[in-house]
Amino acid sequence: MKTLQEEFAGIGIGTPSYFRNLTLFPLLRLNNPTTPIDYLLLEEGIAQGKVRVTELDGVGSVPELQVANSADLPVLIVDGEELLGAKQNRVLNLTILVPAKSTISVPVSCVEAGRWKMTPPDFQTAPHVMYSRVRGERVSQVTQSMRFSGARTSDQTAVWGDIAEKAASLDASSVTSAMSAIYQRHANSIEEFASAFAWQEGQHGLAFAIDDEVGGLDVFDHSEVLQAFFPKLIRSYAIDALDTPKQGGEIHTQTVADFIAEIQASQSFFDTALGLGKDVRFVGSRLSGAALWAQKRYVHICAFTQKDKTAGSRQFGTPFTRPSRRSRF
């Protein structure tokens, strides 16, 4: 298994692009792999009728959903993807590679506090992922949950509070307190951001900054996978950019390089993943992140700047619930 240091040593930072107060830095693999994609994306699996995401049963469970994969390939579900429908909208708590011909339960967070009523029972993917600031906080919450209980749960009350605060700030309240209402309310402005940036051939990841502050990054194993997620990620960054008054600050490539260096120096542990591979978690003094190692490579890595520095400064010395499965790089 590669370390994060080794993985990021093979990733370079491309020329940034700008729109208003949002800056994107393409992340490029120095040795571009040529292997074909050996899994389906959740959206295409659903579209092909080979994947169903539903409530666990007729009653349902807020922090869990069921993913049934009838395909001959694994299915990749990505941290922060929003699922619309069933009894309430949810977001995925972490990246999971669901094995072929299998049905598993996956941990989620509710992003629609005011609804618990069945619509069509099958979930559909949204055209965005969870906006970056609350997504980063939830990554940190899941990491803490894994450390102390072995579960992969978020702080649901905090998630609802973050969404309510964002909705109030952007004048996007809804009857059911749905996160998706924020995207709908500002759809025109969000699409201006989405159309201002373009995925580059061979680009495997991207780091983003709002004004002069790095917000985080996402890296995938295949360039085509990033291409599929590119507009969804831009829409999530746009929500935070719209909620941040433009200060005129300038961001430099070295700042992103410093952020990556902190990822490489971060404390990390891993546990057996839900589905295939290993679930990797890492924390630095100013960041928190997660990754999925499967099929002998990092399938997805995400990291976010943490506003609450106390969360990142804690040590990983607390006993893990399942010590026989805890490991360090």
Domain boundaries, the chain: 4-325
Q: Do 203 and 223 contact (CB within 8 A), yes or no? A: yes
pLDDT reading at 230 higher than 70: yes
Q: What percent of the chain has pLDDT over 90?
A: 87
In Å, how far from its chain's centre is CA 239? 15
pTM score of the predicted model: 0.93
For the cut 90, the answer to whether the pLDDT of residue 242 exceeds it is: yes
Q: What is the per-residue pLDDT for 308? A: 56
**End-to-end Cα spacing for the chain:** 8
Q: Is 148 helix (H, G, I), strand (E, B) or coil?
A: helix
12-40 confidence digits (pLDDT tens) = 999 999 999 999 999 999 887 678 999 99
For residues 242 and 21, what is the distance between their CA atoms, to the nearest angstrom? 9
